[in-house]
Every structure is written in structure tokens, then in C-alpha cells.
Amino acid sequence: RNDTAWTSGYSADEVITIPLKNGEGRFVATADQLKQIEDENLVAFRYVDVNPNGSTDDIAGLTNARGNVVGLMPHPEHAVELGFGPSTDRLRDGLDGLPMFTKVLEQIAA
């Protein structure tokens, strides 16, 4: 989902690299809860290729219905400065978390 203040800096289905700090927490939902989440389009981020903590349906982050709150397990704040985030093969050198914060700031300033 890329239509929230937090996610609008990414294109739909874009794969980004965001660090995890631990694998202890994970998202868990019943089948009914998962159906409601999917029906209401509340999934903001999913794990791709690897689900490091066993989160239900590969969910890495959720948003509320308004889209003004996003909760996620990965840590985008650790991918906002050159040389400190994980390197990727797209030559972004660990900056994949930066759009999350710049888009929020742009919307607040508007």
C-alpha cells in the first residue's frame, strides 16, 4: 500500500531493504482478523523472499484505516543515512528508509 503519508514515497510493489534489529516479535492474526485486514487494505509492508520472524501472511507493517499511523517490525530509521543502512544492489547504499520520513515531513509542512 503506497497511499499513506508514511508509504507514498514508494511505488506499488517496490522491494525495499530495511534492517531488522531482532527476530523476536512477529505479527499474528486469526483467519478472520486476516480477512478483515486484507478487506480493509491495511497491510502497509510485507516481507519478500524471507519472513525472518514468522509473521502471519508475511506482514511486516500495518496501517490504520486513515493511513496516518503505520506500525512495523523493521526499522526504517536505520536506513536513512549513507553508510549506515544495509547496502542494496540498486546503488541506494542503505537509504531505503528515508522516503518514509521525507514524505511525512513534506505532508506536515504542506
Cα 108 to the center of its chain, rounded Å: 20
Closest CA to 27 of 41, 7, 8, 47: 47
pLDDT by residue, tens only, the chain of 110 residues: 899 999 999 998 899 988 887 777 789 999 999 999 999 999 999 999 989 899 999 999 999 999 999 999 999 998 888 776 666 555 456 889 999 999 999 988 98
Q: Which residue has the cell 513534506?
A: 106
Domain 31-109, second-level architecture? 3-Layer(aba) Sandwich (3.40)
Give pTM, 2 decimals: 0.87
Of 2, 14, 42, 16, give the one whose Cα is nearest residue 98.
Answer: 16
Cell of 1: 500500500
